Amino acid sequence: MTSISRILDDDEELALMNLTRVVLHPERFLQSTSEEILEMEGSEPSFIIEAHLSTAYTLQNVLRLINGQIDSASELVDRKQDAARNKILLANTIISIFTLCVGSASLIGSLFGMNLTNHLETNGRAWTIVVVATMAMSIVIGVLAIQTLIWSGSMPRIAVLFRQA
């Protein structure tokens, strides 16, 4: 744009750009021309160049605006992807805690299911006690794991989860 501005400042260059006038009246350009004639002959090309320069500035501003909108849209998409990723990680964590609880209950079942002799085979209520104790232990492990994650800030509170939905 600076070269266009330089041409607009040079009256002789502008006058010589008016080719129709150069062809029709070459004598005006062969003599040592005065500033007034140069200014008069260069006015039409000057108007045309200034109109195109104005259009170029307008297009440049529109492109900057579009670039800003693209950046804003990109940031919005990134934030939405981050939110979705966080929800998936939260679901994965809850599933892992559930798996931990089931695994710990399976461990107890495996230990008591072995063919070992102990004093519980003769007790009629032993199976009920073991099942209830195992389930209670699994629930306590799950609650403690979730509470620890909430306390450390790794997992949001349950009320926050329902508010976002």
Does 125 fall in a domain? yes
Does 30 fall in a domain? no
Does 143 fall in a domain? yes
Query: Looking at per-residue confidence, does 13 or 162 come out higher?
Result: 13
Asked if 134 and 109 touch (Cβ cutoff 8 Å), the reply is yes
Asked if 14 and 7 touch (Cβ cutoff 8 Å), the reply is yes
Model confidence over 38-88: pLDDT tens digits? 666 667 777 778 888 889 889 999 999 999 999 999 999 999 999 888 888
Does 121 fall in a domain? yes
Q: What local confidence, expressed as pLDDT, does residue 119 receive?
A: 72
Torsion of CA 136, 142, 145, 149, to 10 degrees: -140
Q: What local confidence, expressed as pLDDT, does residue 14 receive?
A: 72
Asked if 21 and 41 touch (Cβ cutoff 8 Å), the reply is yes
pTM of the predicted model, to two decimals? 0.52
How far, in Å, CA of 41 to CA of 14, rounded?
Answer: 8
Integer angstrom CA distances of residue 126 from 105, 111, 138: 16, 14, 18
Does 118 fall in a domain? yes
Does 35 fall in a domain? no
User: In which domain, by residue range, is 57 found?
Assistant: 42-164
Mean pLDDT of all residues in 20-46: 66
How far, in Å, CA of 108 to CA of 120, rounded?
Answer: 14
How far, in Å, CA of 108 to CA of 59, rounded?
Answer: 73
Does 51 fall in a domain? yes
Q: What local confidence, expressed as pLDDT, does residue 38 receive?
A: 66
Q: What local confidence, expressed as pLDDT, does residue 17 receive?
A: 73
Output the average pLDDT for the chain: 79
Domain count, the chain: 1
Burial 76-104 (b: 16+ CB within 10 A, else e): eeeeeeeeeeeeeeeeeeeeebeeebeeb
Does 68 fall in a domain? yes
Q: What local confidence, expressed as pLDDT, does residue 40 receive?
A: 67
Model confidence over 112-123: pLDDT tens digits? 776 556 676 777
